[in-house]
Amino acid sequence: MSTLRTAALVGNPNSGKSALFNALTGARQKIANYPGVTVERKAGRLVLPSGEVVELIDLPGSYSLDPSSPDEEVTRSVVEGNFAGEAVPDVLVVVIDAANLEQHLVFAQELIGLGRPTVIALNMIDLAERDGLVIDPAALSDALGVPVVPTVAVRKRGLGVLLDQLETAGSQDMSARHQVARLTMPERRLAARNIAKGAIVSESSVHQLHAKLDKVLLHPWLGPVILFGLLFVIFQAVFAWATPFADALDAGISALIDLARAILPEGIIRDLVTEGILTGVGSVVVFLPQIVILFAFILAMEQSGYMARAAFIMDRLMAYVGLSGRSFIPLLSSFACAIPGIMATRSISDPKDRLTTILIAPMMTCSARLPVYAVIIAAFIPATSVGPGIGLQGLVMFALYIAGIVGAMVVALVLRRTATKGAASGFIMEMPRYQWPPLRDLAIGLWQRAWVFLRRAGTIIFMATIVLWLLLSFPKAEIGESQVDASFAGKIADGLHVVMEPIGFNREISLALIPAMAAREVAVSALATTYAVNAEDDDAAAEGLIPQLRAEWTLPTALAFLAWFVFAPQCLSTIAVARRETNGWKWPAFMLAYLFGLAYIFAGLTYWSAVALGL
């Protein structure tokens, strides 16, 4: 039982609670410029000027204490002290957006009305100033009866004063609070308008540029064209810009392998290090530059406010398949990884909308597929240009991403008429303001992404590679027999190959699919290790994965392999999260079955069409 005082950050979505949480506790919670980023309660610690340690809780944004979605339910239960194992927070830090004063004061009053020690963080004061708003915090404080501290969470401005107020919050005068508590919703709205009016000293309209920007970016047909154009550019960049860095990494790994060969005595250990660890893990690590480039774009789009516009543009498209734009943000998060994507569905209020979104999230191309796609594309798709500045490789990558999206939309359409039948719910999302992505946040975000990727390489991929190498290396082959044929892994692969052969998969692919259930990238490291073990001598092994793929695979097989990865639910953690979020095995089992079914069918169709076309 902790005896620390607790303070909870509450307020409307996108007011900067998590940014403030990070600034106060040194944590690295995800922040992004659209509502609904935080979906769970998160705790951290901060130290007051007196030396007292306080537990700070970051909460999902909410519009009222009357929850309309699972994430808002978390906020209410924490604030009201009903959250399992947790007492009522001692202090509420209500975070409001200075440039959206009127809207944010509605919920703020409801919170003040609870009659608990409360401090208001008047956040984003910098954006209010940029937009030509001058606000008088003292007037606001008088009207609300609680301390108001202007802050800029992302620049750590105003934090000292905020901490001082937290220190003394326990001795606040509560006498005026009961008046606020009795207000009805319409009365609160009216009061919010009046209080905001009274606190705004001056206002000039410099919104014009942003309004013009919205006219273009949200235009009925120009908007989608710009969005798809942008996605297109992103995938071109992923290939074009990454090459020099990837080549350098590749050269570094080859040098390491040569070094290991030179210093280690011939034997099992040397083989494990060169064929297993360095070849396997290295084959995935070379994709770091592409991952970083992809995320640089995603983070910039999130922070600038464009992502919410993209959701708005997609809303119409999503309505056709029975989903709302609300699903867009979780689906978009799934491009990084389906796990946070599925968790982000907590901000969807309609349960059937939410379930459908969970079920299709794994079809969004997560970043773990990037190495798989990239290695096959590099091996089989020529690096030619199909137009000014348009490379064929980037185009194929773009097509694979689109295939996932189209597949997901078709499945949603079918599900919404069958398993998760229901009408599409309306879309209400406030558009965040545009702003330049803070460079520091961008750098931190990229660093985190790169670290997640490298950590996977160092843990899951490392372990899977070692296990696979052992299974591939024993029992030892007789003279004249291939090592893979003789090995345990070879026997396992032979079994699975019977099922996979009709869709053009060879034995190495069949084998790689098994460890890839742990993480998709393992498919690449598994292939690299298998070919390295099978190579006749060190020189053949040193050639690298891509020449070996070219030598061993036909083009139809390579294309079928890509099609498989568009659909296959190749990652157990996703299934586990789906189980947690749907409270049972029914839906994850359904997800597993339909995704494997689609993967098999589409890989097969791709293979047979390619063979028929004589590719």
Q: Which stretch binds ligand GTP (CB under 6 A): 31-39, 278-286, 324-332, 394-402?
A: 31-39
Residue among 38 and 345 whose Cβ is closer to Mg ion: 38
CA 155 to chain centre: 24
Q: Which stretch binds ligand GTP (CB under 6 A): 28-36, 135-143, 280-288, 485-493?
A: 28-36
# binding residues, ligand GTP (CB under 6 A): 27
Residue among 18 and 393 whose Cβ is closer to Mg ion: 18
| Residue 501 CA: distances (Å) to CA of 492, 556, 569 | 14, 12, 19
| Residue 508 CA: distances (Å) to CA of 109, 404, 491 | 63, 25, 11
Residue among 38 and 483 whose Cβ is closer to Mg ion: 38
Residue among 156 and 270 whose Cβ is closer to Mg ion: 156
CA–CA distance, 512 with 487 (Å, rounded to integer): 14
Q: Which stretch binds ligand GTP (CB under 6 A): 32-40, 138-146, 391-399, 523-531?
A: 32-40
Q: Which stretch binds ligand GTP (CB under 6 A): 120-128, 357-365, 514-522, 563-571?
A: 120-128
CA–CA distance, 49 with 164 (Å, rounded to integer): 7
Asked if 301 interacts with ligand GTP (CB under 6 A), we say no
Q: Select from 553, 529, 551 the least CA-distant residue to 541.
A: 529
Q: Which does 512 bind (CB under 5 to 8 A by kind): Mg ion, ligand GTP, none?
A: none
Q: Select from 317, 324, 297 the least CA-distant residue to 224.
A: 317
Q: Select from 224, 255, 218, 245 the least CA-distant residue to 320.
A: 224
Backbone angles phi, psi at 422, to 5 degrees: 165, 170
Q: Which residues in 38-57 contact Mg ion (CB under 5 A)?
A: 38
DSSP codes of every residue in 16-76: SHHHHHHHHH-------SSS----S-EEEEEE-TTS-EEEEEE----SSSS-SSHHHHHHH
CA–CA distance, 508 with 494 (Å, rounded to integer): 9
Asked if 557 interacts with ligand GTP (CB under 6 A), we say no
Per-residue contact flags (x/-) with ligand GTP for residues 138 to 167, judged by CB under 6 A: --------------xxx-------------
Of positions 38, 100, 283, 333, contacts ligand GTP by CB under 6 A:
38
CB atoms within 10 A of CB 36: 24
CA–CA distance, 82 with 8 (Å, rounded to integer): 14
Of positions 5, 8, 10, 16, contacts ligand GTP by CB under 6 A:
16
**Nearest distance in Å: CB 40, Mg ion:** 10
Q: Which residues in 418-457 contact ligand GTP (CB under 6 A)?
A: 435, 438, 441
Residue among 86 and 430 whose Cβ is closer to ligand GTP: 430
Tell me the CB-side half-sphere exposure of residue 559, using CA atoms within 13 A: 18
Question: Which strands, in side-by-side order, build the sheet including 5-11?
Answer: 42-47, 53-58, 5-11, 91-97, 118-123, 148-150
Of positions 12, 18, 69, 100, contacts Mg ion by CB under 5 A:
18
492 CB-contact burial (10 Å; exposed 0-12 / middle 13-18 / buried 19+)? middle
Residue among 14 and 465 whose Cβ is closer to Mg ion: 14
**Nearest distance in Å: CB 34, ligand GTP:** 7
* Cβ atoms 549, 346 nearer than 8 A: no
Q: Which stretch binds ligand GTP (CB under 6 A): 8-16, 76-84, 186-194, 442-450?
A: 8-16
Q: Two tokens at 338?
A: 């389906």
* Cβ atoms 305, 433 nearer than 8 A: yes
**Nearest distance in Å: CB 17, Mg ion:** 5
**Nearest distance in Å: CB 107, ligand GTP:** 11
- Please report where in the chains the tokens 């599900």 appear, as a residue: 415
Residue among 430 and 494 whose Cβ is closer to ligand GTP: 430
Of positions 10, 54, 55, 61, contacts ligand GTP by CB under 6 A:
61
**Nearest distance in Å: CB 148, ligand GTP:** 14
Residue among 42 and 261 whose Cβ is closer to ligand GTP: 42
Residue among 125 and 337 whose Cβ is closer to ligand GTP: 125
Torsion angle of C-alpha atoms 276, 240, 445, 304, degrees rounded to 10 = -160
Backbone angles phi, psi at 433, to 5 degrees: -75, 150
Q: Which does 113 bind (CB under 5 to 8 A by kind): ligand GTP, Mg ion, none?
A: none
Q: Which residues in 395-414 contact Mg ion (CB under 5 A)?
A: none
Q: Which stretch binds Mg ion (CB under 5 A): 11-19, 215-223, 362-370, 469-477?
A: 11-19
Q: Which does 19 bind (CB under 5 to 8 A by kind): Mg ion, ligand GTP, none?
A: ligand GTP
Helix (H) or strand (E) holding 572: helix 572-582
Q: Which does 36 bind (CB under 5 to 8 A by kind): Mg ion, ligand GTP, none?
A: ligand GTP
Asked if 105 interacts with ligand GTP (CB under 6 A), we say no
Asked if 37 interacts with ligand GTP (CB under 6 A), we say yes
Q: Two tokens at 528?
A: 């690299």
* Cβ atoms 515, 572 nearer than 8 A: no
Residue among 156 and 579 whose Cβ is closer to ligand GTP: 156
CB atoms within 10 A of CB 428: 11
Residues making contact with Mg ion (CB under 5 A)? 17-18, 37-38
Which positions touch ligand GTP (CB under 6 A)?
A: 13-19, 31-33, 35-38, 60-61, 123-124, 126-127, 152-154, 303, 435, 438, 441
